[in-house]
Structure 1
Amino acid sequence: MSVTLKPVVRDDVVPLAQLRVGADQDSFVAPNVWSLAQLHYETGAHAFGIMDGDDRVGFCQVIDMREHDHREPHDDENSAFLWRMMIADGKQRQGYGKAAIALICDWARDRGLPRLMTSCVETNAAALAFYQSAGFAPTGDMDGKEVILSRPV
């Protein structure tokens, strides 16, 4: 396994839009096509294909909160926010998610950001367990029905 983050370019849009999570996760994860459509309307947002060699295994979007014009009261302006992340059905539980988190932490650290934040639906026990196993801890804040989590980079 050789996991990298590849900034999304034109030729990645259709293949990334075709990646899907399992049917049991559809209500928790926005479709990539929706995320790609929103990307250019969120200041400070960066999109990456999660790659294993030349194989697209997932997708993520991260916001440098220092560059984001629409911070909410619970947002930490000195953090990177993992806004969207998905690993494709059939590629999950193989270490890609944790490898991607480590690379996103490197990206944030390289930008001088001390923390990586994310959120997930409170009732998504699998996502909460995954993020906690990847070093995140709940902050005590909520964004609607989503738990806010943080970890140092």
Structure 2
Amino acid sequence: MIISTPTPRLEPVTEGNFDAVCAVQVRPDQTHLVSPVVKSLAEAYVHGDTAWPRAVVDGEEVVGFVMAFLDIVWDPAADPAGRRSGLWRLNIGAAHQGKGYGRFAVGAVAEEVRRRGGDRMYVTWNTGEGSPEPFYLGLGFRPTGELSGAETVAELLLDPAPVA
């Protein structure tokens, strides 16, 4: 008998998992650092051409939410290529933090960016108490020296996608 163990995966947000996705809440000390999922889903609706919202699921349980931005036009004066992709939002449920789901979700976004031909991905974060800065630095993101509003902009260089 083969016993399968649940592994994290990303799934589109659907009518079937919408309520569970909207119920994802970070720890109370993190709420000032990341918008609630429902705001992200509204932004995904408004920016449907670039937003890539996904539920982070383990087994049958929604444990988090991640949203990427794919191929947005940045500042052509500062970035001659003019397009960027990266992590827009990451919410891992308070009870599920510290279990590798955030690392998994960032890696899955990196794979999607790479699959679409990207060689780097971006993220922003607020600084200060409880900032996710150490998490992102630990994953290899490096500040670019830019700010998006008051948030630090960082990039992660991606290894090329393997040739099939």
Q: What TM-score does the superposition give when structure 2 sets the normalisation length? A: 0.83
Shift of 1:125: 5.0
What are the within-5 Å matches in structure 2 for residues 1-16 of structure 1?
2-16=7-21
Which has a greater percent of helix?
1
2:115 to 110, 114, 122: 110
1:1-20 alpha-carbon deviations (Å, 9 max, x no partner): 51111121222221111110
Provide the C-alpha distance between the structure 2 equivalents of 1:89 and 1:143, rounded to a whole number of angstroms: 26
Partner of 2:50: 44
Structure ID, larger Rg = 2
Indicate the larger mover: 4-13 or 90-99. Answer: 4-13
Question: Could you tell me whether the CA contact under 8 Å between 1:78 and 1:114 is conserved in 2?
Answer: no
Consecutive unaligned residues in structure 1, runs of 5 or more: none
2:134 to 109, 126, 129: 129
Consecutive unaligned residues in structure 2, runs of 5 or more: 1-5, 159-164
Q: What TM-score does the superposition give when structure 1 sets the normalisation length? A: 0.89
Indicate the larger mover: 11-20 or 121-130. Answer: 121-130
Determine helix, strand or coil for the equivalent of 2:46: coil
The code of the aligned residue for 1:34 comes to K
Provide the C-alpha distance between the structure 1 equivalents of 2:17 and 2:157, rounded to a whole number of angstroms: 30
Partner of 2:152: 147
2:83 counterpart of 1:61: no
User: What is the number of residues matched between the two proteins?
Assistant: 150
Q: How big is the alpha-carbon RMSD for the aligned residues of Structure 1 and Structure 2?
A: 1.8
1:71-107 alpha-carbon deviations (Å, 9 max, x no partner): 3566774432211111100100111111111111111
